[in-house]
A and B are shown apart, each in its own frame.
Chain A
Amino acid sequence: NAGVTQTPKFQVLKTGQSMTLQCAQDMNHEYMSWYRQDPGMGLRLIHYSVGAGITDQGEVPNGYNVSRSTTEDFPLRLLSAAPSQTSVYFCASKILASSSYEQYFGPGTRLTVT
């Protein structure tokens, strides 16, 4: 299994540009989520999904859109990038059936918005 994969690893955007951060997992996990990590603030939940066709907002959803058309993929869209979205973005997944299952994280995408 490749686990949780994210592309790209690095990205530089200009203010106002749009882009999609890709996330895929090959473990057939129902639950997928996106976090951002900022110095002094830890990781914060942006959006999450409990299955194909079902998404919901986390703590910091403004400026981001998600959709889940398949179990494997959970892309994160920035519609109009802002410097405040400069961060490291992590995708995670887990089996939903029980709280005894751990979460698996991808390697991250480092995004800079100028």
Chain B
Amino acid sequence: KQEVTQIPAALSVPEGENLVLNCSFTDSAIYNLQWFRQDPGKGLTSLLLIQSSQREQTSGRLNASLDKSSGRSTLYIAASQPGDSATYLCAVSRGTSGSRLTFGEGTQLTVNP
């Protein structure tokens, strides 16, 4: 059974700091890995999707890497801002076209002004 773990569970940093969120998974037979952002009381917003054949994806200040063989992914956030405060979730996919997601519990990030 696939298990996804995110470390740390919570992180508090001052504004401007670069930071790394970690995600590990137990079964390397995945189609892709997605990073999501969740604001309090809201739904999930997709940030980055990395296909199993890819090593990394970038969007603005965000960079996600994937090492499928070791079962690890990192989300790098550059020059953090208070608006980045949210819970970040990673999910790995299986099933038809990678549709079924297994989620980690998330990292709650607080960026202090």
Physical interaction between A and B: yes
Chain A residues whose CB sits within 8 angstroms of the CB of B82 once the complex forms: none
Q: Is the CB of A42 within 8 A of B99?
A: no
Chain B residues whose CB sits within 8 angstroms of the CB of A31 once the complex forms: 96-97, 99
Chain A residues whose CB sits within 8 angstroms of the CB of B44 once the complex forms: 43, 90, 92, 105
Interface of chain B: mostly helix, strand, loop or mixed: strand
Q: Is the CB of B43 within 8 A of A103?
A: no
Chain A residues whose CB sits within 8 angstroms of the CB of B81 once the complex forms: none
Chain A residues whose CB sits within 8 angstroms of the CB of B28 once the complex forms: none
Interface members, chain A 19-63 (any B CB < 8 Å): 31, 33, 35, 40-45, 48, 50, 58
Which B residues fall within an 8 A CB radius of A? Answer: 4, 31-32, 34, 36, 41-46, 49, 51-52, 89, 91, 93, 96-106
Using A42-B4, A108-B41 as known contacts, list a sample of 11 further A-B pairs with CB atoms less than 8 Å apart, ordered by residue number in A. Answer: A31-B97, A33-B99, A35-B101, A42-B104, A42-B106, A48-B99, A92-B101, A94-B97, A100-B32, A103-B46, A105-B46
Which A residues fall within an 8 A CB radius of B? Answer: 4, 31, 33, 35, 40-45, 48, 50, 58, 90, 92, 94, 96-108
